[in-house]
Structure 1
Amino acid sequence: MNKSPTPSPQDKPKQKVEAPMATSRRPKWLRLSSITKICLGVFGIEFLIGGSAELFGIPVRELVRDPAAEYGFPVYGGAFSTIGLVILGAASILLIVGSFGISSPLKRVMQLGGVLSACMTIDDAFMLHEQVLPGVFGISEYAVYLMYFCGALYLYVETWRIADAYLLSAAHAAAFFLCVSVTADVSGLYGGFAFWFEDFAKLSGYVAILAFAIHAARRNLQTAPPAEN
Protein backbone atom coordinates (compact mmCIF):
# COMPACT_ATOMS: atom_id res chain seq x y z
CA MET A 1 0.00 0.00 0.00
CA ASN A 2 1.19 3.45 -0.82
CA LYS A 3 1.44 5.66 2.19
CA SER A 4 0.43 9.26 1.80
CA PRO A 5 3.38 11.58 2.16
CA THR A 6 3.75 13.16 5.53
CA PRO A 7 3.36 16.93 5.17
CA SER A 8 6.43 18.88 6.03
CA PRO A 9 6.30 21.65 8.61
CA GLN A 10 6.42 24.17 5.74
CA ASP A 11 3.28 22.68 4.18
CA LYS A 12 1.17 22.90 7.33
CA PRO A 13 -1.28 25.82 7.32
CA LYS A 14 -0.10 28.61 9.49
CA GLN A 15 -2.39 29.50 12.31
CA LYS A 16 -3.25 33.14 12.61
CA VAL A 17 -1.90 34.55 15.81
CA GLU A 18 -4.21 37.22 17.12
CA ALA A 19 -2.71 40.12 18.94
CA PRO A 20 -3.84 40.48 22.51
CA MET A 21 -6.72 42.88 22.88
CA ALA A 22 -5.60 46.24 24.14
CA THR A 23 -6.98 47.10 27.50
CA SER A 24 -7.57 50.54 28.82
CA ARG A 25 -5.08 51.74 31.39
CA ARG A 26 -7.67 53.92 33.06
CA PRO A 27 -9.07 52.76 36.40
CA LYS A 28 -12.40 51.00 36.23
CA TRP A 29 -14.19 53.84 37.98
CA LEU A 30 -13.20 56.14 35.09
CA ARG A 31 -14.57 53.81 32.39
CA LEU A 32 -18.00 55.38 32.25
CA SER A 33 -20.74 54.56 29.77
CA SER A 34 -21.81 57.09 27.19
CA ILE A 35 -25.13 57.83 28.89
CA THR A 36 -23.33 58.38 32.21
CA LYS A 37 -21.00 60.87 30.56
CA ILE A 38 -23.99 62.69 29.08
CA CYS A 39 -25.73 62.86 32.47
CA LEU A 40 -22.55 64.15 34.11
CA GLY A 41 -22.19 66.74 31.37
CA VAL A 42 -25.77 67.97 31.84
CA PHE A 43 -25.29 68.13 35.60
CA GLY A 44 -22.06 70.08 35.16
CA ILE A 45 -23.70 72.60 32.84
CA GLU A 46 -26.64 73.09 35.18
CA PHE A 47 -24.29 73.48 38.14
CA LEU A 48 -22.25 76.02 36.18
CA ILE A 49 -25.37 78.01 35.32
CA GLY A 50 -26.58 78.00 38.92
CA GLY A 51 -23.14 78.96 40.21
CA SER A 52 -22.82 81.77 37.68
CA ALA A 53 -26.25 83.09 38.64
CA GLU A 54 -25.25 83.08 42.30
CA LEU A 55 -21.90 84.69 41.52
CA PHE A 56 -23.37 87.50 39.42
CA GLY A 57 -26.43 87.97 41.62
CA ILE A 58 -29.10 86.89 39.14
CA PRO A 59 -32.37 86.16 40.98
CA VAL A 60 -33.86 82.70 40.59
CA ARG A 61 -37.11 84.20 39.28
CA GLU A 62 -35.18 85.44 36.26
CA LEU A 63 -33.74 82.00 35.53
CA VAL A 64 -37.00 80.08 35.52
CA ARG A 65 -40.42 81.30 34.48
CA ASP A 66 -43.39 80.78 36.77
CA PRO A 67 -46.59 81.64 34.86
CA ALA A 68 -48.68 80.95 37.97
CA ALA A 69 -46.98 83.83 39.79
CA GLU A 70 -46.49 86.04 36.73
CA TYR A 71 -49.96 85.89 35.17
CA GLY A 72 -52.15 84.54 37.95
CA PHE A 73 -52.56 81.17 36.26
CA PRO A 74 -53.36 77.98 38.19
CA VAL A 75 -50.38 76.13 39.60
CA TYR A 76 -50.42 73.77 36.63
CA GLY A 77 -50.20 76.69 34.18
CA GLY A 78 -46.54 75.97 33.45
CA ALA A 79 -47.19 72.32 32.59
CA PHE A 80 -46.94 72.95 28.86
CA SER A 81 -43.50 74.51 29.26
CA THR A 82 -42.37 71.56 31.37
CA ILE A 83 -43.77 69.04 28.91
CA GLY A 84 -42.01 70.84 26.09
CA LEU A 85 -38.68 70.69 27.91
CA VAL A 86 -39.14 66.96 28.57
CA ILE A 87 -39.94 66.32 24.90
CA LEU A 88 -36.99 68.35 23.63
CA GLY A 89 -34.62 66.81 26.19
CA ALA A 90 -35.76 63.32 25.20
CA ALA A 91 -35.18 64.15 21.54
CA SER A 92 -31.65 65.40 22.21
CA ILE A 93 -30.72 62.29 24.20
CA LEU A 94 -32.23 60.01 21.55
CA LEU A 95 -30.25 61.72 18.79
CA ILE A 96 -26.94 61.79 20.65
CA VAL A 97 -27.08 58.27 22.10
CA GLY A 98 -28.52 56.84 18.88
CA SER A 99 -25.49 58.07 16.93
CA PHE A 100 -22.98 56.20 19.11
CA GLY A 101 -21.29 53.07 17.77
CA ILE A 102 -22.90 53.15 14.32
CA SER A 103 -21.41 54.26 11.01
CA SER A 104 -24.12 55.75 8.82
CA PRO A 105 -24.84 58.82 6.69
CA LEU A 106 -27.28 59.83 9.41
CA LYS A 107 -24.57 59.90 12.06
CA ARG A 108 -23.61 63.53 11.41
CA VAL A 109 -27.25 64.62 11.23
CA MET A 110 -28.06 62.94 14.53
CA GLN A 111 -25.03 64.40 16.26
CA LEU A 112 -25.74 67.92 15.01
CA GLY A 113 -29.42 67.64 15.88
CA GLY A 114 -28.66 66.24 19.31
CA VAL A 115 -26.21 68.99 20.22
CA LEU A 116 -28.52 71.73 18.92
CA SER A 117 -31.52 70.27 20.78
CA ALA A 118 -29.50 69.94 23.99
CA CYS A 119 -28.42 73.60 23.78
CA MET A 120 -32.04 74.66 23.22
CA THR A 121 -33.22 72.56 26.15
CA ILE A 122 -30.74 74.08 28.60
CA ASP A 123 -31.34 77.55 27.20
CA ASP A 124 -35.11 77.27 27.50
CA ALA A 125 -34.99 75.70 30.95
CA PHE A 126 -32.90 78.52 32.44
CA MET A 127 -33.91 81.39 30.11
CA LEU A 128 -30.27 81.91 29.16
CA HIS A 129 -31.00 83.96 26.02
CA GLU A 130 -33.31 86.27 27.97
CA GLN A 131 -31.40 86.91 31.20
CA VAL A 132 -28.01 85.25 31.67
CA LEU A 133 -26.34 85.79 28.29
CA PRO A 134 -27.43 89.44 27.84
CA GLY A 135 -26.96 90.41 31.49
CA VAL A 136 -23.68 88.62 32.28
CA PHE A 137 -21.88 88.19 28.95
CA GLY A 138 -23.40 91.05 26.96
CA ILE A 139 -24.70 88.73 24.20
CA SER A 140 -27.98 90.07 22.89
CA GLU A 141 -31.04 87.90 22.44
CA TYR A 142 -30.96 88.51 18.69
CA ALA A 143 -27.37 87.25 18.49
CA VAL A 144 -28.41 84.02 20.24
CA TYR A 145 -31.28 83.54 17.81
CA LEU A 146 -28.88 84.16 14.92
CA MET A 147 -26.54 81.42 16.23
CA TYR A 148 -29.48 79.02 16.49
CA PHE A 149 -30.54 79.93 12.96
CA CYS A 150 -27.07 79.22 11.56
CA GLY A 151 -26.91 75.87 13.40
CA ALA A 152 -30.40 74.92 12.21
CA LEU A 153 -29.57 75.91 8.63
CA TYR A 154 -26.44 73.74 8.66
CA LEU A 155 -28.45 70.85 10.09
CA TYR A 156 -31.11 71.30 7.40
CA VAL A 157 -28.51 71.16 4.62
CA GLU A 158 -27.09 67.93 6.04
CA THR A 159 -30.61 66.51 6.35
CA TRP A 160 -31.43 67.51 2.77
CA ARG A 161 -28.44 65.48 1.57
CA ILE A 162 -29.93 62.37 3.17
CA ALA A 163 -33.01 62.81 0.93
CA ASP A 164 -35.46 61.41 3.47
CA ALA A 165 -38.94 62.85 2.94
CA TYR A 166 -40.07 62.20 6.52
CA LEU A 167 -37.04 63.89 8.05
CA LEU A 168 -37.47 66.91 5.79
CA SER A 169 -41.17 67.12 6.64
CA ALA A 170 -40.41 67.05 10.38
CA ALA A 171 -37.68 69.65 9.89
CA HIS A 172 -40.11 71.94 8.04
CA ALA A 173 -42.72 71.63 10.78
CA ALA A 174 -40.17 72.29 13.53
CA ALA A 175 -38.80 75.33 11.69
CA PHE A 176 -42.26 76.81 11.11
CA PHE A 177 -43.55 76.51 14.67
CA LEU A 178 -40.29 77.61 16.28
CA CYS A 179 -40.16 80.65 14.00
CA VAL A 180 -43.71 81.49 15.11
CA SER A 181 -42.64 81.15 18.75
CA VAL A 182 -39.56 83.34 18.26
CA THR A 183 -41.63 85.97 16.43
CA ALA A 184 -44.06 86.09 19.35
CA ASP A 185 -41.15 86.34 21.78
CA VAL A 186 -39.36 89.26 20.10
CA SER A 187 -42.56 91.14 19.21
CA GLY A 188 -42.82 92.53 22.73
CA LEU A 189 -46.28 91.12 23.39
CA TYR A 190 -47.00 90.53 27.08
CA GLY A 191 -49.79 88.85 28.95
CA GLY A 192 -51.51 85.54 29.36
CA PHE A 193 -52.52 85.09 25.73
CA ALA A 194 -49.04 85.97 24.47
CA PHE A 195 -47.55 83.42 26.87
CA TRP A 196 -49.94 80.70 25.73
CA PHE A 197 -49.43 81.49 22.05
CA GLU A 198 -45.63 81.40 22.34
CA ASP A 199 -45.58 78.24 24.45
CA PHE A 200 -48.05 76.32 22.28
CA ALA A 201 -46.07 77.15 19.14
CA LYS A 202 -42.86 76.13 20.90
CA LEU A 203 -44.41 72.87 22.11
CA SER A 204 -45.54 72.02 18.56
CA GLY A 205 -42.01 72.63 17.28
CA TYR A 206 -40.55 70.41 19.99
CA VAL A 207 -42.96 67.60 19.06
CA ALA A 208 -41.73 67.85 15.46
CA ILE A 209 -38.12 67.62 16.67
CA LEU A 210 -38.99 64.49 18.67
CA ALA A 211 -40.61 62.94 15.58
CA PHE A 212 -37.42 63.79 13.66
CA ALA A 213 -35.31 62.09 16.33
CA ILE A 214 -37.44 58.94 16.49
CA HIS A 215 -37.42 58.45 12.72
CA ALA A 216 -33.69 59.16 12.43
CA ALA A 217 -32.83 56.69 15.19
CA ARG A 218 -35.07 53.99 13.73
CA ARG A 219 -33.67 54.39 10.23
CA ASN A 220 -30.14 54.44 11.58
CA LEU A 221 -30.61 51.16 13.41
CA GLN A 222 -32.31 49.46 10.44
CA THR A 223 -29.93 50.42 7.65
CA ALA A 224 -26.53 51.23 9.15
CA PRO A 225 -23.73 48.60 9.13
CA PRO A 226 -21.70 48.09 12.30
CA ALA A 227 -19.02 50.69 12.83
CA GLU A 228 -15.46 49.64 12.01
CA ASN A 229 -13.01 49.55 14.89
Structure 2
Amino acid sequence: MPARQRLVDRSAVPPLAALGCAILFIALTGLAAERLGIPVADLTRDPASTMGVHPFIGIVSTIGILLWTATASICLFSAARARRGGSDEDVRFLLCTGALTATLLVDDLFMLHEWAFPLHIGVLEEIVYGTYVLIFLLYYLRFRGPLADHGLPLLLLACACFAASILCDQLVPNEGLQYLVEDGFKLTGITAWFLFHTRACSRILDTAARANRSTSSTAPSRGRVQPGPGSPATGPAASAPRPGACADPGDRAR
Protein backbone atom coordinates (compact mmCIF):
# COMPACT_ATOMS: atom_id res chain seq x y z
CA MET A 1 0.00 0.00 0.00
CA PRO A 2 1.55 3.38 -0.91
CA ALA A 3 2.75 5.52 1.96
CA ARG A 4 0.89 8.53 0.67
CA GLN A 5 -2.43 8.20 -1.12
CA ARG A 6 -3.55 10.78 -3.67
CA LEU A 7 -6.63 12.71 -2.78
CA VAL A 8 -7.61 13.17 -6.46
CA ASP A 9 -6.67 10.91 -9.34
CA ARG A 10 -4.69 12.76 -11.99
CA SER A 11 -6.94 11.42 -14.74
CA ALA A 12 -9.90 13.23 -13.14
CA VAL A 13 -8.25 16.67 -13.26
CA PRO A 14 -8.99 17.54 -16.96
CA PRO A 15 -12.72 16.67 -16.77
CA LEU A 16 -13.09 18.57 -13.50
CA ALA A 17 -11.27 21.58 -14.98
CA ALA A 18 -13.53 21.52 -18.06
CA LEU A 19 -16.67 21.38 -15.90
CA GLY A 20 -15.35 24.23 -13.77
CA CYS A 21 -14.71 26.36 -16.88
CA ALA A 22 -18.24 25.68 -18.14
CA ILE A 23 -19.78 26.73 -14.82
CA LEU A 24 -17.59 29.83 -14.68
CA PHE A 25 -18.56 30.78 -18.24
CA ILE A 26 -22.27 30.49 -17.40
CA ALA A 27 -21.79 32.68 -14.34
CA LEU A 28 -19.86 35.31 -16.34
CA THR A 29 -22.58 35.28 -19.00
CA GLY A 30 -25.24 36.10 -16.41
CA LEU A 31 -23.04 38.83 -14.93
CA ALA A 32 -22.39 40.39 -18.35
CA ALA A 33 -26.09 40.37 -19.20
CA GLU A 34 -26.87 42.20 -15.97
CA ARG A 35 -24.08 44.76 -16.31
CA LEU A 36 -24.72 45.51 -20.01
CA GLY A 37 -28.50 45.51 -19.77
CA ILE A 38 -28.89 42.66 -22.28
CA PRO A 39 -31.62 40.03 -21.83
CA VAL A 40 -30.08 36.75 -20.70
CA ALA A 41 -32.00 34.89 -23.41
CA ASP A 42 -30.17 36.89 -26.08
CA LEU A 43 -26.87 35.43 -24.86
CA THR A 44 -27.99 31.86 -24.22
CA ARG A 45 -30.54 30.97 -26.91
CA ASP A 46 -29.89 30.04 -30.51
CA PRO A 47 -29.56 33.13 -32.80
CA ALA A 48 -32.33 31.92 -35.10
CA SER A 49 -34.72 31.61 -32.16
CA THR A 50 -33.70 34.99 -30.77
CA MET A 51 -34.09 36.81 -34.10
CA GLY A 52 -37.16 34.83 -35.19
CA VAL A 53 -35.61 33.80 -38.53
CA HIS A 54 -35.34 30.53 -40.44
CA PRO A 55 -32.94 27.95 -38.88
CA PHE A 56 -31.04 27.70 -42.18
CA ILE A 57 -29.99 31.36 -42.00
CA GLY A 58 -26.17 31.43 -42.23
CA ILE A 59 -25.89 27.69 -42.86
CA VAL A 60 -22.76 28.02 -45.03
CA SER A 61 -21.03 30.06 -42.35
CA THR A 62 -22.15 27.58 -39.66
CA ILE A 63 -20.68 24.63 -41.56
CA GLY A 64 -17.43 26.54 -41.92
CA ILE A 65 -17.35 27.15 -38.15
CA LEU A 66 -17.87 23.42 -37.54
CA LEU A 67 -14.99 22.54 -39.87
CA TRP A 68 -12.69 25.09 -38.18
CA THR A 69 -13.62 23.59 -34.79
CA ALA A 70 -13.07 20.01 -35.94
CA THR A 71 -9.67 20.82 -37.43
CA ALA A 72 -8.42 22.65 -34.33
CA SER A 73 -9.69 19.90 -32.00
CA ILE A 74 -8.18 17.07 -34.04
CA CYS A 75 -4.79 18.80 -34.31
CA LEU A 76 -4.55 19.60 -30.60
CA PHE A 77 -5.70 16.11 -29.58
CA SER A 78 -3.24 14.52 -32.01
CA ALA A 79 -0.43 16.69 -30.62
CA ALA A 80 -1.17 15.36 -27.13
CA ARG A 81 -1.19 11.76 -28.36
CA ALA A 82 1.90 12.13 -30.56
CA ARG A 83 4.05 13.08 -27.58
CA ARG A 84 4.37 9.33 -26.98
CA GLY A 85 6.42 7.99 -29.84
CA GLY A 86 6.19 10.96 -32.21
CA SER A 87 8.94 13.41 -33.05
CA ASP A 88 9.19 16.79 -31.34
CA GLU A 89 8.89 18.51 -34.72
CA ASP A 90 5.58 16.76 -35.43
CA VAL A 91 4.24 17.75 -32.01
CA ARG A 92 5.22 21.39 -32.55
CA PHE A 93 3.66 21.31 -36.03
CA LEU A 94 0.34 20.03 -34.68
CA LEU A 95 0.31 22.47 -31.77
CA CYS A 96 0.97 25.48 -34.01
CA THR A 97 -1.60 24.27 -36.55
CA GLY A 98 -4.20 23.85 -33.81
CA ALA A 99 -3.47 27.32 -32.42
CA LEU A 100 -3.60 28.93 -35.89
CA THR A 101 -6.86 27.18 -36.74
CA ALA A 102 -8.38 28.18 -33.39
CA THR A 103 -7.44 31.81 -34.13
CA LEU A 104 -9.16 31.63 -37.52
CA LEU A 105 -12.16 30.01 -35.84
CA VAL A 106 -12.55 32.82 -33.31
CA ASP A 107 -12.09 35.45 -36.04
CA ASP A 108 -14.74 33.86 -38.24
CA LEU A 109 -17.18 33.17 -35.41
CA PHE A 110 -17.12 36.66 -33.89
CA MET A 111 -16.43 38.60 -37.12
CA LEU A 112 -13.22 40.10 -35.74
CA HIS A 113 -11.62 41.20 -39.03
CA GLU A 114 -14.77 42.81 -40.43
CA TRP A 115 -16.53 44.14 -37.33
CA ALA A 116 -14.57 44.11 -34.06
CA PHE A 117 -11.18 45.32 -35.29
CA PRO A 118 -12.34 48.06 -37.73
CA LEU A 119 -15.24 49.45 -35.66
CA HIS A 120 -14.10 49.03 -32.06
CA ILE A 121 -10.29 48.95 -32.19
CA GLY A 122 -9.62 51.10 -35.25
CA VAL A 123 -7.60 48.52 -37.18
CA LEU A 124 -8.50 48.46 -40.86
CA GLU A 125 -9.71 45.23 -42.40
CA GLU A 126 -6.89 45.38 -44.97
CA ILE A 127 -4.31 45.44 -42.17
CA VAL A 128 -5.91 42.36 -40.60
CA TYR A 129 -5.79 40.55 -43.95
CA GLY A 130 -2.13 41.53 -44.38
CA THR A 131 -1.34 40.20 -40.91
CA TYR A 132 -2.94 36.87 -41.74
CA VAL A 133 -0.93 36.64 -44.97
CA LEU A 134 2.27 37.22 -42.98
CA ILE A 135 1.26 34.60 -40.41
CA PHE A 136 0.56 32.04 -43.14
CA LEU A 137 3.92 32.78 -44.75
CA LEU A 138 5.77 32.32 -41.46
CA TYR A 139 3.80 29.14 -40.82
CA TYR A 140 4.84 27.71 -44.16
CA LEU A 141 8.50 28.69 -43.77
CA ARG A 142 8.69 27.19 -40.29
CA PHE A 143 6.96 23.90 -41.12
CA ARG A 144 7.66 23.48 -44.82
CA GLY A 145 9.18 20.05 -44.09
CA PRO A 146 6.11 18.49 -42.41
CA LEU A 147 3.79 20.29 -44.85
CA ALA A 148 5.62 18.81 -47.84
CA ASP A 149 5.64 15.34 -46.25
CA HIS A 150 1.85 15.23 -46.05
CA GLY A 151 1.10 16.49 -49.56
CA LEU A 152 0.90 20.12 -50.58
CA PRO A 153 -1.90 20.11 -53.21
CA LEU A 154 -4.72 20.24 -50.64
CA LEU A 155 -2.95 22.96 -48.65
CA LEU A 156 -2.29 25.01 -51.80
CA LEU A 157 -5.95 24.60 -52.77
CA ALA A 158 -7.01 25.89 -49.35
CA CYS A 159 -4.74 28.94 -49.57
CA ALA A 160 -5.86 29.67 -53.14
CA CYS A 161 -9.52 29.54 -52.12
CA PHE A 162 -8.88 31.83 -49.14
CA ALA A 163 -7.12 34.33 -51.41
CA ALA A 164 -9.96 34.18 -53.96
CA SER A 165 -12.52 34.79 -51.19
CA ILE A 166 -10.59 37.84 -49.95
CA LEU A 167 -10.29 39.26 -53.47
CA CYS A 168 -14.04 38.83 -54.02
CA ASP A 169 -14.71 40.62 -50.74
CA GLN A 170 -12.45 43.53 -51.61
CA LEU A 171 -12.97 43.96 -55.38
CA VAL A 172 -16.39 42.61 -56.35
CA PRO A 173 -19.53 44.62 -55.47
CA ASN A 174 -21.48 43.16 -52.54
CA GLU A 175 -24.65 42.11 -54.31
CA GLY A 176 -26.46 38.96 -55.33
CA LEU A 177 -24.26 36.16 -56.67
CA GLN A 178 -21.09 37.74 -55.26
CA TYR A 179 -21.89 36.42 -51.78
CA LEU A 180 -22.33 32.89 -53.10
CA VAL A 181 -18.98 33.05 -54.92
CA GLU A 182 -17.10 34.64 -52.01
CA ASP A 183 -18.48 32.33 -49.32
CA GLY A 184 -18.25 29.35 -51.66
CA PHE A 185 -14.51 29.91 -52.08
CA LYS A 186 -14.19 30.31 -48.32
CA LEU A 187 -16.04 27.08 -47.48
CA THR A 188 -14.04 25.16 -50.11
CA GLY A 189 -10.81 26.48 -48.59
CA ILE A 190 -11.87 25.50 -45.07
CA THR A 191 -12.80 22.02 -46.29
CA ALA A 192 -9.41 21.56 -47.98
CA TRP A 193 -7.69 22.84 -44.81
CA PHE A 194 -9.65 20.29 -42.77
CA LEU A 195 -8.84 17.39 -45.12
CA PHE A 196 -5.13 18.21 -45.30
CA HIS A 197 -4.59 18.44 -41.57
CA THR A 198 -6.75 15.46 -40.60
CA ARG A 199 -4.72 13.34 -43.03
CA ALA A 200 -1.50 14.74 -41.53
CA CYS A 201 -2.73 13.91 -38.02
CA SER A 202 -3.60 10.36 -39.07
CA ARG A 203 -0.14 9.77 -40.54
CA ILE A 204 1.66 11.26 -37.54
CA LEU A 205 -0.33 9.14 -35.09
CA ASP A 206 0.32 5.99 -37.16
CA THR A 207 4.05 6.74 -37.11
CA ALA A 208 3.96 7.31 -33.34
CA ALA A 209 2.06 4.05 -32.80
CA ARG A 210 4.61 2.08 -34.84
CA ALA A 211 7.44 3.66 -32.86
CA ASN A 212 5.74 2.66 -29.60
CA ARG A 213 5.28 -0.93 -30.76
CA SER A 214 8.90 -1.13 -31.89
CA THR A 215 10.13 0.22 -28.56
CA SER A 216 8.00 -2.16 -26.52
CA SER A 217 9.08 -5.19 -28.58
CA THR A 218 12.80 -4.46 -28.20
CA ALA A 219 12.75 -3.48 -24.52
CA PRO A 220 13.95 -6.25 -22.10
CA SER A 221 11.33 -7.83 -19.87
CA ARG A 222 11.24 -6.43 -16.36
CA GLY A 223 12.00 -8.75 -13.47
CA ARG A 224 13.92 -11.27 -15.55
CA VAL A 225 17.37 -11.99 -14.10
CA GLN A 226 20.05 -12.75 -16.65
CA PRO A 227 22.50 -15.45 -15.44
CA GLY A 228 26.01 -14.16 -14.84
CA PRO A 229 29.31 -15.88 -15.57
CA GLY A 230 29.43 -17.51 -12.10
CA SER A 231 25.75 -18.24 -11.80
CA PRO A 232 24.50 -21.83 -11.98
CA ALA A 233 22.96 -22.74 -15.28
CA THR A 234 19.27 -23.42 -15.50
CA GLY A 235 17.06 -25.15 -18.01
CA PRO A 236 17.22 -28.51 -19.80
CA ALA A 237 20.98 -28.34 -20.31
CA ALA A 238 21.56 -27.97 -16.57
CA SER A 239 19.40 -31.02 -15.75
CA ALA A 240 21.30 -33.37 -18.09
CA PRO A 241 23.82 -35.65 -16.27
CA ARG A 242 27.52 -35.00 -16.76
CA PRO A 243 29.61 -37.69 -18.40
CA GLY A 244 30.89 -40.19 -15.83
CA ALA A 245 28.43 -39.17 -13.13
CA CYS A 246 25.30 -40.97 -12.01
CA ALA A 247 22.10 -39.09 -12.28
CA ASP A 248 20.55 -40.87 -9.27
CA PRO A 249 22.15 -42.48 -6.16
CA GLY A 250 19.80 -45.42 -6.62
CA ASP A 251 21.55 -46.24 -9.91
CA ARG A 252 24.75 -47.12 -7.99
CA ALA A 253 22.85 -49.53 -5.79
CA ARG A 254 21.45 -51.27 -8.83
| TM-score (normalised: structure 2) | 0.61
CA RMSD of aligned residues (A): 4.0
1:205 Cα shift? Answer: 0.4
The 3 A distance-change label for structure 1 pair 91 and 132 is same
Structure with max Cα Rg: 2
How do residues 98-113 of structure 1 correspond to structure 2 at under 5 angstroms? 98-101=78-81, 102=83, 103-104=86-87, 105-113=89-97
How do residues 1-229 of structure 1 correspond to structure 2 at under 5 angstroms? 31-33=13-15, 40=21, 76-101=56-81, 102=83, 103-104=86-87, 105-162=89-146, 164-187=148-171, 189-224=173-208, 225=211
Residues 92 and 115 of structure 1 are in contact (CA less than 8 Å); yes or no, is this contact kept in structure 2? yes
1:166 Cα shift? Answer: 3.9
CA–CA separation in structure 2 for the residues paired with 1:196 and 1:143 = 25
CA–CA separation in structure 1 for the residues paired with 2:109 and 2:177 = 21
1:79 Cα shift? Answer: 1.4
Considering Cα pairs closer than 8 Å and 6+ residues apart, tell me whether 1 or 2 has the greater RCO.
Answer: 1
The 3 A distance-change label for structure 1 pair 28 and 110 is closer
Match of 1:99, SS state, is helix
Q: Compare 184-193 and 168-177 and name the one that shifted more.
A: 184-193
Unpaired segments ≥5 residues, structure 2: 213-254
1:88 Cα shift? Answer: 1.5
The 3 A distance-change label for structure 1 pair 156 and 24 is farther
Deviations, residues 50-98 of structure 1 (Å, cap 9, x unaligned): x69x96x9xx9xxxx99xx9xxx97635211111111111011111111
Residues 172 and 178 of structure 2 are in contact (CA less than 8 Å); yes or no, is this contact kept in structure 1? no
Correspondence for 2:233: none
1:192 Cα shift? Answer: 2.5
Unpaired segments ≥5 residues, structure 1: 1-19
Residues 167 and 215 of structure 1 are in contact (CA less than 8 Å); yes or no, is this contact kept in structure 2? no
Residues 140 and 147 of structure 2 are in contact (CA less than 8 Å); yes or no, is this contact kept in structure 1? no
| TM-score (normalised: structure 1) | 0.67
Match of 2:58, SS state, is helix
The 3 A distance-change label for structure 1 pair 175 and 23 is farther
1:114 Cα shift? Answer: 1.1
CA–CA separation in structure 1 for the residues paired with 2:80 and 2:60 = 31
CA–CA separation in structure 2 for the residues paired with 1:85 and 1:202 = 11
1:211 Cα shift? Answer: 0.8
Deviations, residues 7-44 of structure 1 (Å, cap 9, x unaligned): xxxxxxxxxxxxx8x9989897982159x65x959x96
What percentage of residue pairs aligned between the two structures are identical? 24
CA–CA separation in structure 2 for the residues paired with 1:29 and 1:96 = 18
